[in-house]
Amino acid sequence: MSVMTTDIHEQTAVPQPKQHGKPGGFLRHTNIFTGVVTGLVLAIITFAIGSKIVPWGNQNVDFDQVGFQALIGITYIAWVIGFMAGIGAFAGPIRWVLGHDLTHADAEYMAGKGQGRFKYWKYTTDHKVVGIQYLIMTLVLFGLGGFLAMLIRTELGITWAEVFTPNFYNSIIGTHGIVMIIAMIIVVAGPLGNFIMPIMIGARDMAFPRLNALSFWLLFAAVPPLVSNLLLGGIRDGWTVYEPLGSQSPVGMIGYQICIIVFAFSTGIASVNLITTAFTMRARGMSWNRVPIFVIGIISAAIMGLVWFPMFQYSQILALSDRMLATSFFNPLMGGSVWLYENLFWLLGHPEVYVVVIPGTAALIELMTVFLRKPLFSYKMAIAGFAGITGISAIVWVHHMYMTGWAPSAGYPFMLSTELISIPFGFLVLVMLGTMWRGKPWTRLPMMCVYAVIWNKIIGVITGVYLSDVPVDQYMHGSMFVVAHFHYMLMGAGLFAAIGAISYWFPKMTGRMLNERIASIGFWVAFFAFQLTFMSMFVAGLQGMPRRVLQFDNAFNISNWLSTIGAYCIGIGMVIFLFAIITSWRNGKPAPANPWGAKTLEWQTSTPVPLENFPVLPVVTSDPYGYGVPDPYDAVEKKMSEADQPVGAGAR
Amino acid sequence: MSAAVESPRSATTGEAVKTVARRNRLGIWLCIISDATGTVALLISYTYLWSLNVNNQWAPPKNAWADWWPFWAIVAGIVIATALIWWGIAGIAKGHKGRLAGAAVLASLILIATFVGQIVQLSTFPFGPADGAYASATFWLCLATAFHLAMLGLLVLAVSIRTGKGLISPDNHSHARFVAMYMTWVCISAALGALVATTMLASPNTQMPLFGTFTG
Amino acid sequence: MSLTNAPETEQPEEPTNRPAPSYRIREWLSRPYARHFLVLFIIFTVVIMPSAWLVLHFMNQSGAPASAIMSEIEKTIFVFTFVSAPLMAMALAILLYSLLGRDWGGKVHGEEPPMQESPAIRTNGTAVILWITATSLLAGFLVIWGMMELATITANSYGSTAPNQQPKDVKPIDINVTGAQWVWNFQYPDQRGIQSDTLVVPVDTPLYFNVTSVDVIHSFWVVELGIKIDANPGAVTNTGVTPNKLGTFNIRCAELCGMHHAYMQTKIQVVSQAEFENWVRVMGGEKTS
């Protein structure tokens, strides 16, 4: 399949710009530690100078004081700017403005050449390094979110007492929600979109390697402000931080807002990178009908993220402005509208759930073909499914607002659009079931994840159908039924799909085989415990339990006890799975280049993957789904169509 | 493959510069799309709050609406700077490097003046950001333009320096094009903001119930 | 056969070997896996459908339905469960057959990639068309049912009708609902503005709620009567219902509103007309005319 095209060694023949300093320049001196130190120092200086200018004396840190809000806001911004400066993010733009362009040696240094393990702590542009960085960050975020989930379920399980104060409880549910949402947005597109996708399309790196590093480190900078909210009074609101309730929170809320504003930039940049890479860097011969379906899924998610994230970002910018500048976008007393917030939020909020679910689904569709040794069923329907979801996701957001009273007659058109989107979603289910049909499954962990995810997806979709109906939503909105539904979709279908995807590509990314025995134990414990936890939660919702409450009627006790037991077991399962990941990464069996016998390009290069991915770029001659043997029943079909001739035709 | 290099190649990856330029162009378009959503968010905020007039607090105190002409003067400044850069690009495509260099210098002066003008407008409104919904929305439309102007200033400075160093040349001036594309978008963004802020003043809704009550 | 001006008679079709249209279906059914799959599909459909009753059982544990609106909601959930069951059953049947069935070759374990033995089916026009048709019909049914239900419920709750557009024959009792952190306040403007923190209403009488908030977003949820509307600061929203069952039911806040959101609950007491008038009088209002 491979024909010589761009030999890596040709590059040295290109005339180079002037080398400024040693290769890498300023980035030789920067890493995560310099970033953190610079960020902290700048934040402290800003706070010190600012507090001289902004009087917030009397040690009365009453959250009504606009000046104090502004001070904390600027301090957080200083952290972000300081961190980015300290990690070397500004070096590239400054060099570009001044005309000190990168040389090949600079680019190689920035890609991590010759730095061993240390490159993971630096502003490294190699997409494989960024992929691993995203993987670690995702695991950390899930750990934090999962820990908060255990706290939440403890509170809800101990039905006879308040374990936490109401304000702290409200903060942990909100922080749990946003941490998990962020983790789910990046879990597949981050590690796998970055590490695997470029290799899968036969490229040497992504379209914008420096932007790749930037998107990761922006995410890194955004996390401490978010987490710090718990130390600064908490966000005391759900993950949606509806205004004006959000404005009642102490300054910790600013951490949330800054996090989202920065995270939106990170996501936008990552989306630009993913889309451009997939569109412009495919190997020769990889026409659009030969592109692996995983790439299509990543493109769909990236497009939705790119187009809609600024809505969420602006909802937080304006909320922060209401705090820092006393504007009144969301303050009804002064002309603001709560409905404005809700619309801006959900305009992203809905496409976002597809950003979460689509990459994992695409990954599972991709790997199913490998483990069933069967071509993808109806590639065209899969494309239509992803395209339909990407398009229609833009016009369904009001179904989160049926009960707000914003536009009662809007219930009709948005009920229609919400039902419509189930049709392209159904195409993806068709593709999955069709691929599975008559296939012989190789029951390794990635394939078993497919079964688990389809089960969860069915339940998520059916309960989604209930909620999409306005009258039914009139009962169910704001109840635990909604919570159980979105956990089935985002966690049941999203996270478990991500686990499948990560265990599939684990050998390529880490060079080790995953200990499937332990990982499977963890996975199945989590899967069955998941059913217990969230089925009980459906029951609680049906019985009439509202969401985001720490105490409730005794009628809901049994459901909550069962949910809590299930949640603890999920925690145990996930810890076992994490244990499998960590021990396999360190001591697992070295992985061959293609342990699964797969046909996509990333498995055709060696493990560990060399810096330039391919010694010689491949040329593609077919799609990667050339599995399977001729269908024995096809002979029957052939007979039937041959029979469709007049009798005695030969005699005419 | 022969080593004959008619088309310039990128120093870092060895690919043809034209290939890299096409890729970068897609990236710029995607960035513009994302930026556009942000502008739309602000326009939605302005128009929606205008239509609602919650608690009768849309209008600024004493109906002190902002003057219309500073908005359009700022738009004019951005448009002129953008036109200059496009004119410079047309020149360098024909081989006149000096035109782009000069255009970039002139454009950056105009952008600085426009930026200063925007800051002056922001600080001399007959209202403050805390004076109700119109004030808030107008303030932010102008703040967003100010951010855009700051970015444009840096970008045009880069064009100027890089043209001077020969990095933007008749053979390879894609970076100048990208800057011009983004500047064109900023013209549109600023114009849309100016349009709503100068034509949609008094709210059509005079029947809102007062806060906390059930009657208007 | 004459080719001149004789009237055209029906020409019999030339005999062919073309199989009857039902042949394809019969051939497919003759495959063992097809029969097994259909059996599984039917079993699962039949097993899943009764879950509709289970769903309603949980919803009715605290006294629902107590209004026509709630009954309509329950009917909708019931119907939706039934029509969704076949799709769910089909997916489950395929999952189960893939894992446990034998006619597709059975599972493969092991470290090494297995040999290629699955049939290389890239698409199947019949299956695709059937699927698109079935899912579109299902989606269409759900939408149309949903819209009809929404219209019914809107009519039953006077939806967003303004006071001057409400039905003239039965005048609803107007109730102003104010959400505040963290209590509900009910005011009866037509009963001399009496206020209460428990909602007391007569049975079989339409009620019309004007809902607002004086601080943050709350949500006015009368659980067993099946109505819910957000209480927004700076706006007035509306809903309505006619309770048709005596008893005491729950009102809960369904939108996180701060520290004591969990405790922002009260009761609705649906009483007889006589009791209601008595209560009004005791609270200081007049007899309703």
| Each residue's pLDDT tens digit, B91-146 | 998 988 889 999 999 999 999 999 999 999 999 999 999 999 999 999 999 999 99
Percent of chain C with pLDDT over 90: 69
Nearest neighbour of C258 by CB, restricted to A248, A408, A439: A248
Interface residue B34 vs chain C (CB under 8 A)? no
Interface residue C268 vs chain A (CB under 8 A)? no
B211 and C210 in contact by Cβ < 8 A? no
Interface residue A644 vs chain C (CB under 8 A)? yes
Nearest neighbour of A208 by CB, restricted to B27, B154, B165: B27
How close does chain B come to C181, measured CA to CA in Å?
Answer: 13
Please indicate, yes or no, whether residues C256 and C148 belong to a single structural domain of this protein.
no
Is residue B211 one of the residues assigned to a domain? no
Is residue C8 one of the residues assigned to a domain? no
Interface residue A596 vs chain C (CB under 8 A)? yes
- Whether the pLDDT of residue A644 is over 90: the answer is no
Instruction: Name residues whose C-beta falls within 8 Å of residue B2's C-beta, 6 or more positions apart in sequence.
Output: none
What are phi and psi for residue B106, nearest 5 degrees?
-60, -45
pTM summary value: 0.93
Please indicate, yes or no, whether residues C85 and C171 belong to a single structural domain of this protein.
no
Please indicate, yes or no, whether residues C134 and C195 belong to a single structural domain of this protein.
no
Give residue-wise pLDDT tens across range A336-382. Answer: 999 999 999 999 999 999 999 999 999 999 999 999 999 999 999 99
Q: Average of pLDDT values for A625-632?
A: 90
Q: Average of pLDDT values for A575-596?
A: 96
- Whether the pLDDT of residue A1 is over 90: the answer is no
CA distance C289 to C191: 10
Please indicate, yes or no, whether residues C237 and C135 belong to a single structural domain of this protein.
no
Q: Average of pLDDT values for A140-165?
A: 95
Interface residue B167 vs chain A (CB under 8 A)? yes
Pick the residue of C78, C87, C143, C223 with the most A CBs within 10 A to test the interface with A by mutation. Answer: C143
B54 and A10 in contact by Cβ < 8 A? no
User: A-chain residues within 8 Å CB-CB of B33?
Assistant: 306-307
The confidence band for B38, taking pLDDT boundaries of 50, 70 and 90, is very high
Does C5 or C140 have the greater pLDDT score?
A: C140
Please indicate, yes or no, whether residues C101 and C32 belong to a single structural domain of this protein.
yes
Pick the residue of A346, A368, A389, A440 with the most C CBs within 10 A to test the interface with C by mutation. Answer: A440
User: A-chain residues within 8 Å CB-CB of C92?
Assistant: 455, 458
Task: Return residue ranges of chain A for CATH 1.20.210.10.
Answer: 126-633
Please indicate, yes or no, whether residues C256 and C193 belong to a single structural domain of this protein.
yes
Neighbour tally for A287: CB within 10 Å: 10
Nearest neighbour of C33 by CB, restricted to A376, A438, A462: A438
Question: Which of 115-134 (C) contact A at CB < 8 A?
Answer: 115-124, 127-128, 131-132
What residue spans of A406-476 are helical by DSSP H?
411-436, 445-468, 470-476
User: A-chain residues within 8 Å CB-CB of C216?
Assistant: 242, 244-245, 248
How close does chain B come to A394, measured CA to CA in Å?
Answer: 12
**Would you state the pLDDT for residue A651?**
43
Is residue B212 one of the residues assigned to a domain? no
How close does chain A come to C278, measured CA to CA in Å?
Answer: 30
Interface residue A558 vs chain C (CB under 8 A)? no
Instruction: Name residues whose C-beta falls within 8 Å of residue A587's C-beta, 6 or more positions apart in sequence.
Output: A512
How close does chain B come to A359, measured CA to CA in Å?
Answer: 20
B54 and C235 in contact by Cβ < 8 A? yes
Instruction: Name residues whose C-beta falls within 8 Å of residue A390's C-beta, 6 or more positions apart in sequence.
Output: A300, A303, A304, A354
Neighbour tally for A352: CB within 10 Å: 26
Is residue C122 one of the residues assigned to a domain? no
What total of structural domains would you count in chain B? 1
Q: Within 13 Å of residue A59, how many CA atoms lie on the same side as its CB?
A: 0
Neighbour tally for A494: CB within 10 Å: 30
**Would you state the pLDDT for residue C289?**
47
How close does chain B come to C236, measured CA to CA in Å?
Answer: 6
Please indicate, yes or no, whether residues C188 and C227 belong to a single structural domain of this protein.
yes
- Whether the pLDDT of residue C272 is over 50: the answer is yes
State the CATH number of the domain containing residue B83: 1.20.120.80
Q: Tokens 């691993």 map to which residue? A: A132
How close does chain A come to C6, measured CA to CA in Å?
Answer: 26
How close does chain B come to A199, measured CA to CA in Å?
Answer: 16
The confidence band for C161, taking pLDDT boundaries of 50, 70 and 90, is very low
The confidence band for A18, taking pLDDT boundaries of 50, 70 and 90, is confident
B214 and C233 in contact by Cβ < 8 A? no
Is residue B103 one of the residues assigned to a domain? yes
Interface residue B10 vs chain C (CB under 8 A)? no
State the CATH number of the domain containing residue C262: 2.60.40.420
Please indicate, yes or no, whether residues C68 and C149 belong to a single structural domain of this protein.
yes
Q: In the A/C pair of chains, how many CB contacts fall below 8 A?
A: 316
HEC readout, A447-465: HHHHHHHHHHHHHHHHHHH
A275 and B12 in contact by Cβ < 8 A? no
Question: Which of 175-204 (C) contact A at CB < 8 A?
Answer: none
Provide ipTM, 2 decimals.
Answer: 0.94
Give residue-wise pLDDT tens across range A104-150. Answer: 999 999 999 989 999 999 999 999 999 999 999 999 999 999 999 99
CATH of domain A126-633: 1.20.210.10
The confidence band for A11, taking pLDDT boundaries of 50, 70 and 90, is low
C231 → chain B, closest CA residue: B212
Mean pLDDT for chain A overall: 92
Please indicate, yes or no, whether residues C139 and C222 belong to a single structural domain of this protein.
no
Please indicate, yes or no, whether residues C262 and C205 belong to a single structural domain of this protein.
yes
User: A-chain residues within 8 Å CB-CB of B49?
Assistant: 329, 335-337, 340
**Would you state the pLDDT for residue A63?**
43
**Would you state the pLDDT for residue B3?**
45
CA distance A584 to A512: 7
Give residue-wise pLDDT tens across range A292-309. Answer: 999 999 999 999 999 999
How close does chain A come to B172, measured CA to CA in Å?
Answer: 14
Give residue-wise pLDDT tens across range A443-493. Answer: 999 999 999 999 999 999 999 999 999 999 999 999 999 999 999 999 999
The sign of the torsion formed by the CA atoms of A614, A618, A623, A628 equals: negative
Give residue-wise pLDDT tens across range A38-84. Answer: 999 999 999 999 888 766 555 455 444 778 888 899 999 999 999 99
Is residue B4 one of the residues assigned to a domain? no
A327 and B52 in contact by Cβ < 8 A? no
Q: In the A/B pair of chains, how many CB contacts fall below 8 A?
A: 168
Q: Kindly list the residues of chain C whose beta carbon comes within 8 Å of any beta carbon in chain B.
A: 176, 178, 189, 210, 212-214, 233-236
- Whether the pLDDT of residue B190 is over 50: the answer is yes
Where in the sequence is the domain holding C239, given as residue range(s)?
A: 167-283
Q: Which chains touch C (3 or more CB pairs under 8 A)?
A: A, B
**Would you state the pLDDT for residue C168?**
58
Tell me how far CA of residue B134 lies from CA of A243, A313, A559, B118, in angstroms.
18, 21, 49, 18
User: C-chain residues within 8 Å CB-CB of B208?
Assistant: 234
Please indicate, yes or no, whether residues C59 and C145 belong to a single structural domain of this protein.
yes
Helix (H) or strand (E) holding C265: strand C265-271
Q: Average of pLDDT values for B200-209?
A: 87
CA distance C185 to B142: 42
Q: Which chains touch A (3 or more CB pairs under 8 A)?
A: B, C
Does C118 or C105 have the greater pLDDT score?
A: C118
CA distance A413 to A421: 13
How close does chain A come to B14, measured CA to CA in Å?
Answer: 4
C180 → chain B, closest CA residue: B212
Per-residue buried b or exposed e for B87-123, using 16+ beta carbons within 10 Å of the residue's own CB: bbbebbeeeebebbbbbbbbbbebbbebbebbeebbe
- Whether the pLDDT of residue A10 is over 70: the answer is no
Cβ atoms of C287 and C191 closer than 8 Å: no
**Would you state the pLDDT for residue A53?**
77
From the DSSP assignment, how many helices (H) and strands (E) are in chain C? 6, 10
* Coarse DSSP helix, strand, coil percentages of chain C, rounded to the nearest 5 percent: 45, 20, 35
**Would you state the pLDDT for residue A374?**
94
Is residue C9 one of the residues assigned to a domain? no
Is residue B193 one of the residues assigned to a domain? yes
B26 and A7 in contact by Cβ < 8 A? no
The confidence band for B216, taking pLDDT boundaries of 50, 70 and 90, is low
What total of structural domains would you count in chain C? 2
Interface residue A535 vs chain C (CB under 8 A)? no
Please indicate, yes or no, whether residues C141 and C174 belong to a single structural domain of this protein.
no
Label the pairing between strands C265-271 and C247-253.
antiparallel
Is residue B209 one of the residues assigned to a domain? no
Q: Within 13 Å of residue A412, how many CA atoms lie on the same side as its CB?
A: 11
Q: Average of pLDDT values for B168-189?
A: 94
**Would you state the pLDDT for residue C117?**
86
Give residue-wise pLDDT tens across range A189-212. Answer: 999 999 999 999 999 999 999 999
The sign of the torsion formed by the CA atoms of A248, A251, A254, A256 equals: negative
Question: Which of 39-98 (B) contact C at CB < 8 A?
Answer: 54-55
The confidence band for A646, taking pLDDT boundaries of 50, 70 and 90, is low
B27 and A207 in contact by Cβ < 8 A? yes
Q: Look at A267-276, A389-398, B69-78, B164-173 and tell me which has the smallest mean pLDDT.
A: B164-173
**Would you state the pLDDT for residue C9?**
53
CA distance B31 to A268: 8
Radius of gyration for the alpha carbons in chain A, expressed in angstroms and rounded: 26
- Whether the pLDDT of residue A420 is over 60: the answer is yes
Q: Average of pLDDT values for A239-268?
A: 94
Q: Look at A64-78, A240-254, B181-195 and tell me which has the smallest mean pLDDT.
A: A64-78
Percent of chain A with pLDDT over 70: 94
User: B-chain residues within 8 Å CB-CB of A404?
Assistant: none
- Whether the pLDDT of residue B90 is over 80: the answer is yes
Q: Average of pLDDT values for A409-418?
A: 94
Where in the sequence is the domain holding B141, given as residue range(s)?
A: 19-199
Q: Which chains touch B (3 or more CB pairs under 8 A)?
A: A, C
How close does chain A come to C4, measured CA to CA in Å?
Answer: 23
Nearest neighbour of A334 by CB, restricted to B23, B31, B57: B57
User: A-chain residues within 8 Å CB-CB of C266?
Assistant: none
Is residue B210 one of the residues assigned to a domain? no
Nearest neighbour of C256 by CB, restricted to A411, A548, A597: A548
